[in-house]
Amino acid sequence: MRDAKVGSIIATLFGGCFLIAICFVVIFYPPQFFGMDLFTPSSGNNIASDQTIEPEPVVESSIEESVEEENAIDIEEIDFVSIEEAITDLEKSGCVITEVDDLSGYPDSRIFLEYDEFKKIAVKEEIVFLLTVEEHSVLFIPYENSHITWFPDEPADEESDKTPAERLVIQTGYGTYDSESTSWLITLKVKNEGNSDVVIKSAFLNDIPCEILKYGIDSVPIDNWGTSFPSTGIPLESGKTVNVYYYIDVGYASFTSGTTINTKLTSERGTVIIKLIRLP
């Protein structure tokens, strides 16, 4: 009788421990107990993992940028850019085109650029002005003491060849220093890219006109500056180039090495070309 009671007690204790173990598993590991994994996608893998599944990085792409690249004019692949094509291209590149009636309030000095160079500055400045005079349109951007200008080169034809067009370009410009004469020599290589002859009439330094007696010199004037071409001007045929020299004494205007100066030439018809030069 006593052995039977002991056996009953042992069985009861064993059964109680078994139930406690089952409750522990059910409470703390319910998904695994029922053969399910609620924390991983249902892909047939029911084994729990401590590893966190990181989402794949999303690469953002600019739809507008793609559209701009697709629709923008490829300047290198076309022979002619009209004013309408330029406006469309600039607007798609983020520029705002503003029409003006005249140039009052804007600098008189102009810097002419090819379209690809003009566009680089336009995209940076974001605002481009449009001026139309007698059916001829130009785009320009105010820049420091002048304005950057672009207008389309009309396709060559018999009628346009008969119409004189003045276009001067400073191809290169640089300065050298002469320690013996303590002066700077500025060299400007100017080309006439228009279809008519031009006369370069006046020279300016930082918008100060050259004195009459300082034209036609070949050496530096003391405490002053001058230029190589005569006061009567220097003729330049269509397609030709010429070197224009500025002679600047070190004592003029307290210039020092590293100073940026503004050289400007004008023609008899009023065309203005500018080159900024950093003194060596």
Residue extents of the structural domains in the chain: 79-150, 165-278
Q: 65 or 265: which carries more pLDDT confidence?
A: 265
Q: 102 or 185: which carries more pLDDT confidence?
A: 185
Greatest mean pLDDT range, 15-19, 30-34, 136-140, 154-158: 136-140
Mean pLDDT of the chain: 76
DSSP per position, 226-276: EESS-TT-EEE-TT-EEEEEEEEETTGGG--TT-EEEEEEEETT--EEEEE
SS3 content of the chain, % helix, strand, coil (to 5): 25, 30, 40
Q: What is the pTM of this model?
A: 0.48
pLDDT tens digits, one per residue of 63-113: 334 434 444 444 344 445 788 888 888 988 999 988 887 766 666 666 777
Q: For residue 257, what pLDDT is reported? A: 93
Distance CA 50, CA 208 (A): 78
Residue 159 has pLDDT above 60, yes or no: no
pLDDT tens digits, one per residue of 195-231: 889 999 999 999 999 999 999 999 999 999 999 999 9
Give the tokens for residue 181.
């004469």
Whether 248 contacts 219, CB under 8 Å = no
Q: For residue 19, what pLDDT is reported? A: 66
* Strand pairing report for 96-100 and 136-143: unpaired
Whether 142 contacts 110, CB under 8 Å = no
Q: Output the CA angle 253-177-200, nearest 5 degrees.
A: 70
Give the tokens for residue 130.
């449009």
Write down the architecture of domain 165-278 according to CATH: Sandwich (2.60)
Q: For residue 139, what pLDDT is reported? A: 87
Q: pLDDT above 70 covers what percent of the chain? A: 62
Q: For residue 63, what pLDDT is reported? A: 38
pLDDT tens digits, one per residue of 191-200: 998 888 999 9
Residue 54 has pLDDT above 60, yes or no: no
Q: What is the mean pLDDT of residues 135-145?
A: 77
